Structure 1
Amino acid sequence: MNQAIYVGIILIALLGMPLFLVLLTVAGVGFSFADIDLIVIGIELYRITDSTVLMALPLFAFAGFLLSESNTAQRLVRLSRAALGWMPGGMMLIALLTCAFFTMLTGGSGVTIVALGALLYPALTQSNYEPRFSLGLLTTSGSLGLLLPPAIPLILYGIIAQQMDIPGVDIVDLFIAGLIPALLMILALYGYGLWANRRQPIELVPFNWQECKVALRETVWELLIPVIVLGGVFSGFFVLSEAAAVTALYVLIIETFVYREITARALLKAMRESLIMVGGILLILGSAMAFTNLLVFNNVPFMLFDLIGDRVTNPWVFLILLNILLLILGAFLDIFAALVIMVPLILPLAMKFGIDPIHLGVIFVANMQIGYFTPPVGMNLFIASYRFKKPIGELYRATLPFLGVLLAVVLLITYVPWLSLVFVR
Structure 2
Amino acid sequence: MSILILVFVLAMVIGIPIAFVLGVSSLYYFLFLGNIPLSMIGQKMYSGIDNYVLLAIPFFILAGELMNRSKITDALINFSGMLVGRIPGALAQINIVASVFFAGITGSGVADTAALGSILIPAMEKEGYTPAYAAAVTVASSVIGPIIPPSVVMVIYSMATGESVGALFAAGYLPGILVAFSLMVLSYYYAKKHNHPRRTSRIPMKEALFTLKESIIGLMCPVILVVGIFSGIFTPTEAAVIACLYAIIAGLFLLRTMTLKEVFDSFVSAAVSSSITLLVIALANLFGQVLALEKIPSLIANFMLSLTTNKFIFLLMVNVFLLFMGMVMDPGASVLILAPIFLPIALSLGIQPLHFAIVMLVNLNFGLITPPVGTCLYVAAPIAKLSIEKLSKAVLPFLSVELIALLLLTYLPELTLVVPRLLGYIY
Corresponding position of 2:186: 192
Letter of the structure 2 residue corresponding to residue 71 of structure 1: K
From 369, 376, 380, the equivalent of 1:373 is 369
Corresponding position of 1:255: 251
CA distance in 2: counterparts of 1:285 and 1:34, whole angstroms: 22
Note if contact 2:186-2:401 (Cα within 8 Å) is conserved in structure 1: yes
Relative to structure 2, which stretch is displaced further, 408-417 or 186-195?
186-195
Note if contact 2:131-2:384 (Cα within 8 Å) is conserved in structure 1: no
Note if contact 1:107-1:151 (Cα within 8 Å) is conserved in structure 2: yes
CA distance in 1: counterparts of 2:140 and 2:222, whole angstroms: 23
Quote how far apart the aligned CAs of 1:342 are.
2.4
Corresponding position of 2:343: 347
Relative to structure 2, which stretch is displaced further, 105-114 or 61-70?
105-114
Q: The residue matched to 1:142 in structure 2 has which SS?
A: helix
From 260, 264, 268, the equivalent of 2:264 is 268
Q: The residue matched to 1:56 in structure 2 has which SS?
A: helix
> 5 Å matches for 1:384-403?
384-403=380-399
- Aligned pair count reads 418
Corresponding position of 2:223: 227
From 171, 177, 181, the equivalent of 1:177 is 171
Question: How far does the alpha carbon of each residue in 1:347-399 deviate from its partner, in whole angstroms, 9 at most, with x for none?
Answer: 23333333222122211221122222224552323322211112334323322
Corresponding position of 1:166: none
Question: How far does the alpha carbon of each residue in 1:302-336 deviate from its partner, in whole angstroms, 9 at most, with x for none?
Answer: 11111222223322222222212222222222222
Note if contact 2:362-2:406 (Cα within 8 Å) is conserved in structure 1: yes
Relative to structure 2, which stretch is displaced further, 123-132 or 325-334?
123-132
Over 3 Å counting, the alpha-carbon distance change for 1:207 and 1:128 in structure 2 is farther
Over 3 Å counting, the alpha-carbon distance change for 1:79 and 1:27 in structure 2 is same
Relative to structure 2, which stretch is displaced further, 404-413 or 190-199?
190-199
2:198 counterpart of 1:212: no
Question: How far does the alpha carbon of each residue in 1:13-50 deviate from its partner, in whole angstroms, 9 at most, with x for none?
Answer: 65455544443454455457554444444333333454
Over 3 Å counting, the alpha-carbon distance change for 1:69 and 1:187 in structure 2 is same
> 5 Å matches for 1:38-187?
38-125=38-125, 129=129, 132-162=132-162, 169-187=163-181
CA distance in 1: counterparts of 2:242 and 2:108, whole angstroms: 20
Over 3 Å counting, the alpha-carbon distance change for 1:319 and 1:3 in structure 2 is closer
CA distance in 1: counterparts of 2:7 and 2:366, whole angstroms: 33
Relative to structure 2, which stretch is displaced further, 327-336 or 15-24?
15-24
Question: How far does the alpha carbon of each residue in 1:154-201 deviate from its partner, in whole angstroms, 9 at most, with x for none?
Answer: 111111112xxxxxx211111111111111111111122222322526
Quote how far apart the aligned CAs of 1:271 are.
1.3
CA distance in 2: counterparts of 1:84 and 1:198, whole angstroms: 15
| TM-score in terms of structure 1 length | 0.89
CA distance in 2: counterparts of 1:107 and 1:422, whole angstroms: 21
CA distance in 2: counterparts of 1:179 and 1:3, whole angstroms: 41
Letter of the structure 2 residue corresponding to residue 84 of structure 1: V
Over 3 Å counting, the alpha-carbon distance change for 1:294 and 1:263 in structure 2 is same
Letter of the structure 2 residue corresponding to residue 107 of structure 1: G
Q: The residue matched to 2:145 in structure 1 has which SS?
A: helix
Corresponding position of 2:283: 287
Note if contact 1:83-1:207 (Cα within 8 Å) is conserved in structure 2: no
Note if contact 1:232-1:238 (Cα within 8 Å) is conserved in structure 2: yes
Aligned residues with identical type, % of pairs: 30
Note if contact 1:128-1:203 (Cα within 8 Å) is conserved in structure 2: no
From 380, 404, 409, the equivalent of 2:405 is 409
Over 3 Å counting, the alpha-carbon distance change for 1:253 and 1:121 in structure 2 is same
Letter of the structure 2 residue corresponding to residue 77 of structure 1: I
Question: How far does the alpha carbon of each residue in 1:113-150 deviate from its partner, in whole angstroms, 9 at most, with x for none?
Answer: 22222432344455565655433222211222211111
Over 3 Å counting, the alpha-carbon distance change for 1:291 and 1:51 in structure 2 is same
Corresponding position of 2:423: none
CA distance in 2: counterparts of 1:4 and 1:195, whole angstroms: 50
Over 3 Å counting, the alpha-carbon distance change for 1:156 and 1:3 in structure 2 is closer
| TM-score in terms of structure 2 length | 0.88
Over aligned residues, Cα RMSD in angstroms? 2.7
Quote how far apart the aligned CAs of 1:62 are.
0.6
Note if contact 1:69-1:266 (Cα within 8 Å) is conserved in structure 2: yes
Note if contact 1:83-1:212 (Cα within 8 Å) is conserved in structure 2: no
- List gaps (5 residues or longer) in structure 2: 421-425
2:322 counterpart of 1:326: yes
- List gaps (5 residues or longer) in structure 1: 163-168
Note if contact 2:4-2:29 (Cα within 8 Å) is conserved in structure 1: no
CA distance in 1: counterparts of 2:70 and 2:88, whole angstroms: 30
> 5 Å matches for 1:305-320?
305-320=301-316
2:423 counterpart of 1:423: no
Note if contact 2:171-2:416 (Cα within 8 Å) is conserved in structure 1: yes
CA distance in 1: counterparts of 2:5 and 2:307, whole angstroms: 28
Question: How far does the alpha carbon of each residue in 1:266-325 deviate from its partner, in whole angstroms, 9 at most, with x for none?
Answer: 223221221222222222212222322332233221111112222233222222222122
Corresponding position of 2:22: 23
